[in-house]
Chains A and B, each alone.
Chain A
Amino acid sequence: MTGPPPAGGRFAIAHLFPELLNLYGDLGNIRVLVQRSRWRGYEVEVRAIGANDEPAFDDVDLVFIGGGQDRQQIAVARALERLAAPLSAAIGRGASLLAVCGGYQNLGHLYRSELVGELHGPGLLDVTTEATSNADRFVGGVVLELPADSPIAALGRESAASAGHPEAARQLVGFENHSGRTQLGPGVRPLGQVRVGGGNDGAGAEGAIALPGEGGLDGLRIGTYLHGPLLPRNPHLADFLILSGLRGRGVTQLAPLDDRAEWAAHVAFANDWQALLRPSRVRGPIGRAMERFGDLLGPSR
């Protein structure tokens, strides 16, 4: 199974609106998808699709959309009106979709905030989002627990265990920074349950996932608030997105990679935030006052 990859295999990534959505190290996600495919011998193409570009999703295996500011999200919503049909068609025939933060909100049915009003989306993820005040932002590290039957966890099990961190395959880690509160519809399930952090709405769930075949679309769809960026520290999720995208080309498994450095970074991040349980746990004026006070004392030698 670890034999050389099919010669001349292609992997095509469409990066939506990089000129508008590039806030949270989003290029890191693209970099990881590119390198992990290249390391397996695939020839990778990254196609930037700007807000004014023609849709070019015909041979795309994976679609990525990142996070941006409220003002940019208006332009994104406008562009998505034009691109919704070809985008849905690409995912319908099996391309995977990863939407982070602002992109997660934009690809749902509705995003509502005081600044932008009501922005309708293509509903590629069955979610709706309402922004709260800036003071109630969820900001901090997040540790998610994946469901027991998660195919993402299954894909990472061996590699995490061989790196000495078997527990990490059941987790996703990342950084969140959002004022949106997202509600899931019946067409998606939570990506995971929050162990540290705020997540979709502070009630426990984070992100949204629809597996290939669900909702009449052959493509995997994932939306999440996690950035930091998301994929470097979560190699199992990166591989699950690549593998799902390549299924349309007849690929059923990926050659394993040496992911010790990835899991080490994953575990270091998870441990730091589990130990601190802040600032996501102590919110509002008390949390802010605690941080101010620490700041006031200055760094101790």
Chain B
Amino acid sequence: MPPPSAPNRLSDPADRRPASSRLQRPRDAAGVVAARLAALGSRLTGRNATSIPGFVAELIAPGVTARFAAGLGGVVLVSGTNGKTSTSRFLAHILAAAGRDVIANRSGANLKQAVASTLVAEATPGGRLRRPGAIAVLEVDEAALPAEARRLPASVVVMTNLFRDQLDRFGETDHLVRLWTAMLERLPPETIVVSCADDPRLTALVADRPGSVAFGLVSPEATVESAGITRDVSACPVCGLPLTYRWTAVGHLGGYACPGCGFRRPEPWLSVHSTGGGLDGQVLAFRWPGATEEASVEVRVPGLGNAYNAAAAVTAAAVLGVEPAEGIAALAAASVPFARFEELRIDGRRVVLSLVKNPASLGELTRIVADAPVACVLFVFSDNFQDGRDVSWYWDVDPAPMVRGRTFVIAGPRAADFELRLRYELVDRPGDPMPGFLGLAPTPAEGLDRAIAATPAGETCVVVSTYTALLALRATLVERGLAPAMPR
């Protein structure tokens, strides 16, 4: 049984609108040229030019992003709390492997201006699209999604999950759910929504929408509890009674049912399970209607979160006409996005960079790192605007299993806070040294030096860091010639 398919504007050229109308084109061209200059200026001053070009182009030619998007062969918006970047990366890879022309935004640059920058960079100084038939796979910040879905003609919207995240910036998660509800009401009926069956909030959101397609985990036989201490969703999103769970995977994702109103997890169209692996990667096995047996593939990223991301990408690709078996096979060669278990070799040591941003991702990472052969862990906690200024969430997870029996270093603006967090788990008496603790490092780069020095040659050091600190740390590594420039 094929999933509902998205309108394919490639197959119907008559439906394709010109990239810019005759009247608009000179203005759009001016916008593109100005954006180029802004990007150049931004790079010359040592910045990464992800946002300013789009901002400048929209300033000069308002609506230029939407006009370019309308000229493409399709637009896929990928949003949610966790897994946006990895899902987008997987999806872009599957589509490219299937011979489609793909445009994708840069890792993590997912706010309005950055999305605009991505599309404007695809236009010529004459104001025309270079690759008019291409499919744009755009990762979009969850708070920015409603506005992007309004201005861009999306053929597919992928919703990965909704966890508690950056409360200082987004407000409460309920607020975000209200914004998404309003967005879905306005979304044209032909737009296909791909969402996670294991997330009760998303299931409730798409319940009334025909033509939505769900992905999820293969329900485990046994009862399984997730690593996080708290579940973000405990009440039924329909009637408010406490949900009962037969199993949970990551945070509140799992097999839920409401004892009151009958709301329950729907059977996903495509489901996945991990059949083994370590820090290096895992083997994923997929099931979908019409497949006579499971299809397996080895991917280079560990963890259940990535199993979900792979399933989301295969499902979205199926909606766009790529056979699931073909999409699954393509995952084997998908590269790892920035800082999602990105592996580096430094001084004969393996250094693995991993991003944390909320209790769900920290709980998942704790489980992966605890079970892996790791010699040393470097924690870097920053609380800049893009990280969320309130990092209290790490008190809702017990991160101690990551460091038991290992050495560890802590750095970043909130280093002293995270030291406290671990102290309250690891010491028998206050003032006692924490076993394995090598101290606070004054800067993340010095922290890395210390952690690498503490890792025996041939062994593994894991860097656990929030977003802006990791970005800065990686830039230092690029400068020192220890990491390739930002992978695309």
Contact = CB atoms under 8 A, between A and B. Distances in A.
A56 interface: no
B468 interface: yes
Given A233-B420, A261-B419, A262-B420, A301 B392 contact: no
Contacts, number: 139
Given A232-B395, A232-B424, A257-B430, A140 B385 contact: no
Contacts of A258: 430-431
Contact of B385 (A69, A134, A260, A291): A291
B417 A70 contact: no
Given A134-B175, A141-B389, A298-B47, A25 B430 contact: no
B48 A272 contact: no
Interface string A9-29: 000000000111011111110
A140 B395 contact: no
Given A23-B172, A295-B111, A39 B395 contact: no
A298 B389 contact: no
Contact of B167 (A23, A36, A291): A23
B116 to A, nearest CB: 11
Contacts of B421: 28, 232
A222 B23 CA distance: 65
Interface stretch (A79-87, A186-194, A263-271): A263-271
B471 A299 contact: yes
Nearest to B471: A299
A151 B424 CA distance: 25
Contacts of B423: 261
A295 B468 contact: no
Contacts of A296: 51-52, 55, 113
Contact of A24 (B173, B390, B413, B468): B390
Given A23-B167, A233-B417, A298 B52 contact: yes
Interface string B288-301: 00000000000000
A145 B410 CA distance: 29
Most buried by B among A23, A228, A261: A261
B486 to A, nearest CB: 11
Interface string B31-75: 000000000001001111111100100000000000000000000
B415 to A, nearest CB: 8
B417 A300 contact: no
Interface in A24-42: 24-28, 31-32, 35-36, 39
Interface string A156-186: 0000000000000000000101000000000
Contacts of B385: 291, 294-295
Interface string A55-99: 000000000000001111001000000000000000000000000
Contacts of A295: 51, 111, 385-386
Given A23-B167, A232-B424, A297-B51, A260 B431 contact: yes
Contacts of A27: 229-230, 395-396
B417 A232 contact: yes
A24 B113 CA distance: 30
Indicate the size class of the contact surface on chain B.
Answer: 35 or more
A261 B420 contact: yes
Interface string B331-362: 00000000000000000000000000000000
Contacts of B113: 296
B171 interface: yes
B240 interface: yes
Nearest to A179: B171
A259 interface: yes
Contact of B396 (A22, A70, A257): A22
Contact of B424 (A20, A35, A291, A297): A35
Contacts of A294: 385
A301 B417 contact: no
A227 interface: yes
Contact of B48 (A134, A141, A233, A298): A298
Contacts of A298: 42, 47-52
B386 A28 contact: no
Contact of A228 (B173, B386, B392, B396): B392
Interface in B434-488: 468, 471-472, 475, 479
B395 A229 contact: yes
A258 B420 CA distance: 12
Contacts of A227: 390, 392
B234 A19 contact: yes
B373 interface: no
Contact of B468 (A75, A140, A279, A299): A299
Given A261-B423, A300-B46, 9 more contacts: A19-B242, A20-B234, A28-B392, A227-B392, A233-B417, A268-B416, A268-B417, A298-B47, A298-B49
Q: Which 9 A-B pairs have the closest CB atoms?
A: A258-B431, A28-B395, A25-B392, A25-B395, A265-B416, A69-B172, A257-B430, A175-B390, A268-B416
Interface of B: 42, 45-52, 55, 111, 113, 164, 167-168, 171-175, 229-230, 234-235, 240, 242, 384-386, 389-390, 392-396, 413-417, 419-421, 423-424, 428-431, 468, 471-472, 475, 479
15 contacts: A20-B234, A23-B164, A24-B390, A27-B229, A28-B395, A32-B424, A69-B172, A140-B168, A229-B392, A232-B395, A261-B416, A261-B420, A269-B416, A299-B384, A299-B471
